Structure 1
Amino acid sequence: MEDEQILRPTPNMRLKTILITLSWFANETVYLGLSYYGPSLGNDQYVSFFLSAAVELPSYLCCWYLMDTFGRRWPLSLSMILGGAACVVTVTIPDDATDETLILYLVSKALLSASFLIIYPFAGELYPTQVRGIGIGASSYIGGLGLIVIPFVTYLVRSSVLDSFYVRKVKTESESYENLDLLASSDGRNKEPQKLKTNKRDPEGNSIKRLVRQMSVMDTQRNVDGTMQLTHWI
């Protein structure tokens, strides 16, 4: 009977599950996002990557002392709040302030690494013993969904994404105008069968060796000179 009462979904257990899952999701998402974005900061990507990894060691050492002294709740809450505030402050800094941005990044990485370390034992202590494995597994699984989203969020802030969309837009418009001119001209209907005939006479078109070498090809894209841009999957 006691096991059934513990496993019964009570409001207290639902609230704990929701809060633990949200904290787990936030910690995994932000921690992985900072790890991805670290090498792009500073003047040297190798130094930035090294500092991003090295700053976690003192964070873990301090975190162990704080957990034993003040418990789990306050260190987890303060580290998440201060780490998030450091991330927000970086938005207000000019783009040329690389050193200040790197320092704030390292501070936020250290704080969020500490909160990411605290969430594991804290979740195990909040869940009852009978449902501890199921609770931690469910929270970890839902929190891991942020690992799917964060790479897209990280690279979405780069201007190259917008530039690539603009280039593809211009290229698509130019190709659509060329297709309209081809359909509107009377020579287009006469030249198309000739291209097909030349392709049929091409000895490389039906070559088994070429098909084996290409394996799987997407020929929908074209290069600047008009030739097919082949994408080799194997």
Structure 2
Amino acid sequence: MLSVPELQHLNVSLQKQLSIPIEEKNGDRMYSKCRIYNLNYSAISVDEMLATNYTNITTKTCDKWEYDRSVMKTTVMSEYDLVCEGSWLSSLAGTALMIGLFFGAISSGFLSDKFGRKVTTLAIGVLHIVSAFSAAFAPNYIVFLTLRTIAGMTAIGVYTPYWLLLIEACPPTHRGYMTILTDALLRVGTGSLALVAWLLRDHWLLQIIGAIGMVPGLILFVIFVPESPRWLISVGRVADAEAISRKIAKWNREEIPASFSLKQVEEKDDASSEKKGTFFDLFRTPNLRKYTLVVCSYWFACVFGNYAMDLNVGTLIPGSIFLNYLLMSTMVPLVSCISLFIGIQKIPRVVSLPGFLGVGGVMCIAMAPILLTNIPQLVTTVACIGRMLLANAFSLIYLYSGEIFPTPLRNVGLGAGSSFGRIGGLITPQIYLLASVWFGLPYVVLGGIPLGAALLSLMLPETRGIRLPENLSDGELFGTSAYEDITSNDRSGEKDNGTALVDSDGERAFINNAFHMDTNAKSTKPELVKPDKAMTLNDVTSL
């Protein structure tokens, strides 16, 4: 509604009658939100206005608006007047974030390989805090979009190297648990965001608190989290890797033998390593090409489905935006950790991958006919089920992407999938616009894309409990009977000669005069045995 100073002394009903034209939309007559009568209100009296025939009066575009502030005191839309002819600009805030996520996913993997997991996480984390904080003081929408893009780039830029460090620092038996724990902590954070938003009702204060809230976590990260020993060994910093291993052992109140050395790991890697994989290696051979394309489509569907529900929670799901966001982004995913645990630890990947994504897509499609029942609680319940399954699929594809690709391509494959997924995120802010064609179209698209990707994922091989591929040849054979024969022979040979151990994910490392963990022991602490036994690198990083 336009505020006309000359009419302020009149009641609201009369102000509207004298200043705002009536428009008809979908059979309903209502006051225009974008146009005003083209009159010089300071030159005519109220009596003259009341006597005027407004049928032939021209209208003009509003240049100032009054906003309903019952839900939020300030928003990006009200701050920059992103309404009427400029309403399409409001969705660009979400698009800018997704563009940042896309480029951040591409660059963060390269940076973490070159400079290390910890250094990259710290540097990008600081940049994220600065950009997110500065966005609260952006003088115009262009500056805000620029800072929003940087914030998106650095948000995923922090997460990717952290995730790689997590995978590399945990033994295979604990990776599933850490995946669930990380996901749960993320959900607690988003839930806190919904609570703070409900209390403040101010977008800019929320932006500031969100940026500052990352500072304590980054400080704790610097103090307590070491660099990845795997990365240190890969760049030849064996002494640093040994020092970190000793610190980990000391933290766990264990003593490492004086003869402990990681030198042989480096020598073995130098002797058997092949050239580092590139993005193009993902498409050179038939099987790897197929796996890459299917994994990318799965990423696309996961990002699209999850972000579409989060970013459009106020338009696609009836009810309180704060409560619905809390349910969609926090409570439901937290409850889903139970089903995610079962999916990761107990169910084959070839079942859980299509199951989570496919059934989640069906639930999203089902929201369209259920809306006709005019029972908001039922719509919200179905939406919660769909969101839970889509969240599980998102967490699972992170883990699966680290399992399906061979070691030289693991980081590249994860980055490629994540980057392709962000393309799906680019279109999520606009999905609600499809309702102008048919009210159910957003829900059909929201569920149809995940359902299609779930069907494609049936072509992917099982990875749970399978030795991970170590080179490009392994990657091409992975999922075939030939790969099963190779891994079976490798396990037999290693058992006979006693020179190496293969962990449950199949990543081998050779350590001279070291020690190993008793993986059958009930205790969670490593058990020192004879120093002439070999041990896996996973055991070193889990001390």
TM-score range, shorter chain: 0.5 to 0.7
Are residues 1:24 and 2:276 paired?
no
Letter in 1 for 2:414: I
Mapped to 2, the partners of 1:158 and 1:99 lie a distance apart of 24
Native 8 Å contact 2:357 2:390 kept in 1: yes
Q: Please state how far the C-alpha of 1:37 moved relative to its aligned partner.
A: 2.3
| Correspondent of 1:132 among 386, 390, 410 | 410
Native 8 Å contact 2:297 2:421 kept in 1: yes
The size of the alignment, in residue pairs, is: 159
Native 8 Å contact 1:36 1:154 kept in 2: no
Are residues 1:116 and 2:394 paired?
yes
Cα deviation digits, residues 131-179 of structure 1 (max 9, x gap): 11111111111111111111112344258xxxxxxxxxxxxxxxxxxxx
Mapped to 2, the partners of 1:49 and 1:24 lie a distance apart of 22
Mapped to 1, the partners of 2:340 and 2:411 lie a distance apart of 24
1:14 aligned residue: 289
Mapped to 1, the partners of 2:297 and 2:376 lie a distance apart of 32
Native 8 Å contact 1:76 1:114 kept in 2: no
Structure 1: stretches of 5+ with no match in the other structure: 160-234
Q: Please state how far the C-alpha of 1:74 moved relative to its aligned partner.
A: 1.1
1:54 aligned residue: 331
Q: Please state how far the C-alpha of 1:2 moved relative to its aligned partner.
A: 7.6
2:154 aligned residue: none
Letter in 1 for 2:348: G
1:105 aligned residue: 383
Native 8 Å contact 1:83 1:107 kept in 2: yes
1:3 aligned residue: 274
1:33 aligned residue: 308
Native 8 Å contact 2:312 2:429 kept in 1: no
Equivalent positions of 1:61-210 (< 5 A) are 61-93=338-370, 94=372, 96-157=374-435
C-alpha root-mean-square deviation of aligned residues, in Å?
2.3
Mapped to 1, the partners of 2:388 and 2:436 lie a distance apart of 24
Mapped to 2, the partners of 1:90 and 1:79 lie a distance apart of 17
Native 8 Å contact 1:24 1:140 kept in 2: yes
Spell out structure 1 runs of 4+ moving beyond 4 A: none
SS at match of 1:42: coil
Q: Please state how far the C-alpha of 1:43 moved relative to its aligned partner.
A: 2.8
Structure 2: stretches of 5+ with no match in the other structure: 1-271, 438-543
Native 8 Å contact 1:43 1:98 kept in 2: yes
2:442 aligned residue: none
The percentage of aligned residue pairs carrying the same residue is 23
SS at match of 1:3: coil
Mapped to 1, the partners of 2:436 and 2:313 lie a distance apart of 14
Mapped to 2, the partners of 1:158 and 1:55 lie a distance apart of 29
**Between structures 1 and 2, the one with greater helix share:** 1
State the TM-score, normalizing by the size of structure 2: 0.28
1:212 aligned residue: none
Question: Against the structure 1 CA distance between its residues 43 and 149, is the aligned structure 2 distance closer, same or farther, given a 3 Å change threshold?
Answer: closer
Native 8 Å contact 1:24 1:139 kept in 2: yes
Cα deviation digits, residues 24-57 of structure 1 (max 9, x gap): 0000011000112223423322221221121110
1:43 aligned residue: 319
Mapped to 2, the partners of 1:80 and 1:152 lie a distance apart of 22
Letter in 1 for 2:351: W
Letter in 2 for 1:111: L
Native 8 Å contact 2:301 2:421 kept in 1: yes
